[in-house]
Structure 1
Amino acid sequence: MTKVDRRILKTQEALRKAVIDLMSEKKFDDITIQELSDRANVSRGTIYLHYLDKYDLLDKLIESHIHELRESCHAAADMDFIGSTLMWTEYFENNYSFFSMMLASKGAPYFRNRFLNLLVEEFTNEVDLTKGINQGFEEDIIVRFVASAYVGVVEWWFTNERPISHEQLAEQLGSLLERNI
């Protein structure tokens, strides 16, 4: 694996932070490259060295978070739902500005769909249709139902500015997953 220059990482982080900050002030479509450049304290040309345009910047930011969530799913493969959900809620807490912007403000519907699709992928192999409350149901319906509920609860948590701790959220969401999957 090649080592990435620290200056590149610093520039990309400044641009990611700038886009999130600006999205808290205005709609993404209204943000200009010049505003991104000013906020990140880089030249417009520097932005184009790293990204095709502001949409590419946002897409890469979203994909990096989806990738991190997917990786934590694989790391938590041997955990119960509460433990694995705790990993996610801790990640949500540590990246609050991004997730609150993407979910609570409806800033990027594309992110919500990517997040939902990730959950559908991850829950698909967890459903047991042979016994219990899921017997006789269609797997796709159960998976979609649970994934949509999960996204809805996480949106509620951000929209209401974290009314319970991320640990409490993980415990309750994990318990609900154990009951329904």
Structure 2
Amino acid sequence: MSKVDRRILKTQEAVRKAVIELMSEKNFDDMTIQDIADKANVSRGTIYLHYVDKYDLLDKLIESHINQLRVLCEAGAELEFIEATQIWTEYFAENHTFFSLMLTSKGAPYFRTRFTDYLIEEVRKEVNVTKGKNEGFDHEVIVQFIASALVGVVEWWFSNESPIPHQALAEQMGRLLERNLS
């Protein structure tokens, strides 16, 4: 595997950071590649070396966060729900600006859909309708219910400027998952 040039990584990080900063100032649709280039202190051509357009850039930014959530989910696969949820809420807190922008009115409208789709994929692995509290329920109803609830709670947390500490959020979400998936 070839090593990526540190200058490329620094440039890509500057561009990603610029997009997030600009999204806190204006709607994504009103943003231009020139705005991003100016904020990142790079040329437009440099951005086009790495991304097709601003939508590709945003898509790759979103995908990188979804992929990191996948990694965290795999790392927490053997943990109890509360401990696994703690890993997620720490990541949300560390990347507060990104998730807050994506889940509020200034965010990219399709992030919520991508996030929901990812959670559906993960919850589907956990739901058991052959025994326990969910016995006899339709598998897909339970999956949709839990994934939508998780998105709603996370969205509420960011939209209301983190009204409880991320540790408390993790504990309560973990307990709710235990109740509904055990």
Please, what TM-score do these two structures have when normalized by structure 1?
A: 0.97
Partner of 1:79: 79
CA contact (8 A) 1:51 1:57 kept: yes
Partner of 1:173: 173
Give the distance between the partners of 1:107 and 1:117, measured in 2 at CA.
17
Query: The residue matched to 1:55 in structure 2 has which SS?
Result: helix
* Alpha-carbon distance, 1:106 to partner: 5.2
Q: Count matched residues.
A: 181
Stretches of structure 2 that go unaligned for 5 or more consecutive residues are: none
Is 1:35–2:35 an aligned residue pair? yes
Tell me which amino acid in the other structure corresponds to 2:149: A
Give the distance between the partners of 1:133 and 1:73, measured in 2 at CA.
23
Give the distance between the partners of 2:59 and 2:162, measured in 1 at CA.
26
* Alpha-carbon distance, 1:135 to partner: 1.5
Query: The residue matched to 2:126 in structure 1 has which SS?
Result: coil
Give the distance between the partners of 1:120 and 1:112, measured in 2 at CA.
12
CA contact (8 A) 1:62 1:111 kept: yes
Partner of 1:16: 16
CA contact (8 A) 1:18 1:39 kept: yes
Partner of 2:123: 123
CA contact (8 A) 1:104 1:156 kept: no
Give the distance between the partners of 2:81 and 2:117, measured in 1 at CA.
18
Identical aligned pairs, as a percentage?
69
Give the distance between the partners of 1:55 and 1:125, measured in 2 at CA.
31
Stretches of structure 1 that go unaligned for 5 or more consecutive residues are: none
Give the distance between the partners of 1:2 and 1:85, measured in 2 at CA.
34
Runs of 4+ in 1 over 3 A off after TM superposition: none
Tell me which amino acid in the other structure corresponds to 2:130: T
Please, what TM-score do these two structures have when normalized by structure 2?
A: 0.97
Measured against aligned partners, the alpha-carbon deviations of 1:19-57 in whole angstroms (never above 9, x if no partner) come to: 111111111111011111100000111111111111110
Give the distance between the partners of 1:139 and 1:109, measured in 2 at CA.
28
CA contact (8 A) 1:19 1:36 kept: yes
CA contact (8 A) 2:66 2:118 kept: yes
